[in-house]
Structure 1
Amino acid sequence: MGPGVALGVLVLALGTYGFRVSGPLLSTRITLSPKASRIMAVAAVVMLTALAVNSALLDGRAVADWSRPSGVAVGAVLAWRRAPLVLVVLAAAGTAALLRL
């Protein structure tokens, strides 16, 4: 690994740390309006949902086979029904594995 790569990793690490520490430090100094707080809460849910759908439906740049979205759907239903996390993960992985056979 060259010095340029090490410097790049260091800069990214410091930037990530700065973003993470800025939340707790600024939360006492900045107050959001109730409307802005609701928008932020909804935006977080939308972003996480988009990430989950993207990961479930795409494999790199191609569309994933049916086993992955089916496993995610089984896991989502079980999570919605408040099943234990271990059961959710095992059922989702088992569904995907069985469909890949």
Structure 2
Amino acid sequence: MNATIAMILALAVGTYAFRLLGPALHGRVELPQRAQELLSAGAVVLLVALLATGALTESSDFAGWARPTGVLVGAALAWRRAPFVVVVLGAAATTAVLRAVGVA
């Protein structure tokens, strides 16, 4: 067995074990309140970083102004509690119109 297959198998077993531990330890392990707050904040920071990377970059370069503007329109619609379909269509339409008029 070569090293690549061994690494894939090790990662698969580790992932399965990690996912199995969640339900197995639920209710048995108590995290301190501060740790729970830090984990929640970390999840938010990770999602914001993922959003910023997807909205602002394309192939390691700036994506242009149309995509971030569409994301901002979608965020504004979501903040105003518009239905999800309206949020997605509003963001896509904004980006499409800006690209159609020549805003890169």
TM-score by length of 2: 0.79
Structure label with greater radius of gyration = 2
Q: Distance in 1 between matches of 2:12 and 2:97?
A: 40
Give the letter for the 2:37 counterpart.
Answer: R
Q: Distance in 2 between matches of 1:60 and 1:19?
A: 32
Query: Who is 1:65 aligned against?
Result: 64
- Give how far 1:63 is off: 1.1
* Post-superposition CA distance 1:68-98 (Å, at most 9, x none): 1011000001001100000000000000111
Q: Distance in 2 between matches of 1:71 and 1:16?
A: 36
Identity across aligned pairs (percent)? 48
Query: Who is 2:40 aligned against?
Result: 41
* Post-superposition CA distance 1:14-50 (Å, at most 9, x none): 4443333332222323210011111111111111111
| Structure 2 unmatched ranges of 5 or more | none
TM-score by length of 1: 0.81
The number of aligned residues is 99
The runs of 4+ residues in structure 1 deviating greater than 2 Å are: 3-29
| Structure 1 unmatched ranges of 5 or more | none
